[in-house]
Structure 1
Amino acid sequence: MTSPGAGALVGVGVGPGDPEHLTLKAVRELRAADRVFVPSTAASSATGGAGRAEAVVAEHVDEARLVRLGFAMTDAGGRDAKWDAAGAAIAEVVRGGGTAAFATLGDPALYSTFAYVVHTVRGLVPDVTVRTVPGITAMQDLAARTGALLAEGTDGLALVPWTAGEDRVRAALAAFETVVIYKGGRQLPRVLDVIRAAGRESEASVGTHLGQAGESVATARETDGPASYFSTVLVTPARDGAPRGGRIR
């Protein structure tokens, strides 16, 4: 099943949603690839519209070169079949020596479907070359939009998915100056309850659909009700006005 001339699979981080957040390297890799694969979910397919990563990439690459790959993000029973189909489509390109780019929201090394794609493609083309292009993350984007500092001096930063459980989030809020919570949009009221119980509501902000249509950036106190899966909660410490460099150790 191996091929002496196997090509490359490139995971390209395209940021949270703003097409202007693509790096120059990301644009170069996307334009140089023989095919650019973009994830599509049941929600985007049902409306006939582009997925979020595709909407970003389409601003920089000819749409005729884009190939949609269906993924079942919430259907555990259908995930394997979708991953197998995606891997087979990419393998067709790389097995013959071509370069396949896979566009992923945020960064390909952070909670990305790209990891599963790599596993599948390597099973079909073991000698494929894999490389990644880092992307701007939602926590960086939200920090920029709110004017927050993610960390300085001896600050610690914790990134916790809500799906890891409330205890993990509580522990992070108690132990780290800055806490970022992903994957909690649909249970946002409960997420905010946990933050309030930790006494950190005034330090929290919520960003949803960053860089996309329907974008929302608000403080925790201004936020009510559940939100999209594509939501980020950022909790940063109140800065005490220490003199310049006072927090450096």
Structure 2
Amino acid sequence: ALGYWLSLHPAAAVVTRGLDIPDYFVDACAKYEVPLLKTSRETSPFLASLIAQLNRELAPRITRHGVLVEVYGEGVLIVGESGAGKSETAIELIKRGHRLIADDAVEIRKLGDNTLEGSSPSNIRHFIELRGIGIINAGRIFGMGAVKPNEKIDMVIQLEEWDATKAYDRLGIDNEYTKLLDVKVPVITVPITPGRNLAVIVETAAMNNRQKKMGYNGAKELMQGLGIDDLEPTEKELDLWTHNE
């Protein structure tokens, strides 16, 4: 049975629990050119760790241009055109106590049916490009507590230049979604105008996204408090409510 199994040329044979390896096992592995490994770990924990590592290394992956930060425990992927202010927003978030995972290039892995994890390529990890200043190492400048090797992706924030002809969502009753590796991720579009504090907006979006995941929606509560059944009011109605307030 041992000879037949080794003749199938498995990737390796592993002896767990630190057990002594008999000579016939060593000879058989040498005969079939199968690597023979040994570990002191118990069989079940070893297999669990091995499967988890294989799932991570062999997971489908893509690379996206953007910035990934952890904000209040939420993984926020910030995307937008070059010059939109993604890296500057990341710096401000770091100064406010949040953590950088990746700048410029974000490697995204699909670890489960609904789980995405983002990280930075090893050669640019912790580095941020700031136009006019150059390349900085966030871990060196702000301390190692300001960076993190990986983080799940809970939402996407799309930065875009303000378009006066476009109707932006003013209530946020229903989530909009984008797909990354066939996984639905909530996405919001934030228009950029002079004077907007993007870091505060990202913080608020992260907290609001967490509340929605926990079943609370502030916009729906407002509509119900006003006794409004139609959860899709017109722009005119929104303006009237704002003026009345």
Taking structure 1 as the reference length, what is the TM-score of the superposition?
0.20
Larger relative helix fraction: 1
Larger radius of gyration: 2
Higher relative contact order (CA 8 A, sep 6+): 1
In the superposition, the TM-score normalised over structure 2's length comes to 0.20
Q: Is the strand fraction higher in 1 or 2?
A: 2
